[in-house]
Amino acid sequence: MLLGIDIGNTNITLGLFEGDALVYSFRLTTKTPRTSDEYGIILEDLLKSKNIKKEQIKDVIISSVVPGIMHSFNNSIKKYLDKKPFEIGVGTKTGINIVTPYPEQIGADRIVDAAAAYELYGGPLIVIDFGTATTYDLISEDGAFLAGITSPGIRICADALWEETAKLPEIEIKKPDSILAKETITSMQAGLVYGYIGQTEYIVKEIIRESKLENVKVISTGGFGKMIADETEIIDVYNPDLSLEGLRIIYNKNRR
């Protein structure tokens, strides 16, 4: 089995693949500092919960945008799974050609999503990841990474709303029944969710207008991606496992 690990700013997502099939996935919080032993024990417990022995894990691939935890995390895999993980970085074959002036500034998470979306759906396409930050990446028909847009994620916007205002409470982020809110909580929900739907539609339309590309597919993923995708016709496909699929695809291109 292949263990794919996507380390983001908010969550660590793990996926177990049997061939090309994603058979199990797990999610941990990133922001809790942990030692290599703590990570290792968590990994062992997750595998045991599915009756999987560590000997069944043949290889491990990691994509990370959180360098601060990588020493502990890599050591946990070496110590508890007896594997040296393959970490995506400069020189990794991905199937995506980065043609921007500073390719080293493009996060591994964005390349993993782009590689998956391009392999699964073909180009040209826009890949939207509704994560801690929301990213919009434009991929050409021949797999070139042409441009990327970054905006605050909906959770960051929500946190700012109630942390910077004295009387606004912390709320559940969900779409209210109507944008015509009558009280504080639904008015905040309306502003956050409808505002984010509007942002998504406007940015996608502007990307398509300026790029002058035709028949552009829009693929989304990420924690709040389904909520937004369900409310707009501008998103063609929501794939919650896009990052994990990208890890599998990139692993196969770099099979050791």
The single residue listed with the structure tokens 């045991």 is: 48
SS3 of 145, please?
strand
Token pair for 106: 């493009």
Q: Please name each of the domains of the chain with its CATH number.
A: 2-87 (3.30.420.40), 97-247 (3.30.420.40)
109 is known as an active-site residue: yes
pLDDT, residue 151, reads: 96
Residue 32, pLDDT above cutoff 80: no
pLDDT of res. 256: 58
Q: Is the pLDDT of residue 252 over 80?
A: yes
In contact, 173 and 158? CB cutoff 8 Å? yes
Q: How far apart are CA 53 and CA 3, in angstroms?
A: 12
* pLDDT classification of 81: cutoffs 50, 70, 90: very high
Query: What is the structure's pLDDT at 103?
Result: 83
Average pLDDT estimate for 138-165: 93
Instruction: Kindly give the pairing relationship between strand 133-139 and strand 125-130.
Output: antiparallel
Whole-number Cα distances in Å, 13 to 9, 133, 198, 245: 11, 16, 28, 12
Whole-angstrom distance, CA of residue 7 vs CA of residue 65: 6
**Marked catalytic residue, from 6, 109, 129, 137:** 109
Distance CA 142, CA 225 (A): 26
pLDDT band, very low/low/confident/very high, at 102 (cuts 50, 70, 90): confident
pLDDT digits (tens, 9 = 90+) for 193-211: 999 999 999 999 999 999 9
Secondary structure of residue 233 in the 3-state scheme = coil
Classify residue 181 by burial, with Cβ atoms within 10 Å: 0-12, 13-18, 19+. middle
Q: Is 99 exposed, middle or buried (0-12, 13-18, 19+ CB in 10 A)?
A: exposed
Name the residue with tokens 């109630």: 162
Return the pLDDT at 93: 93
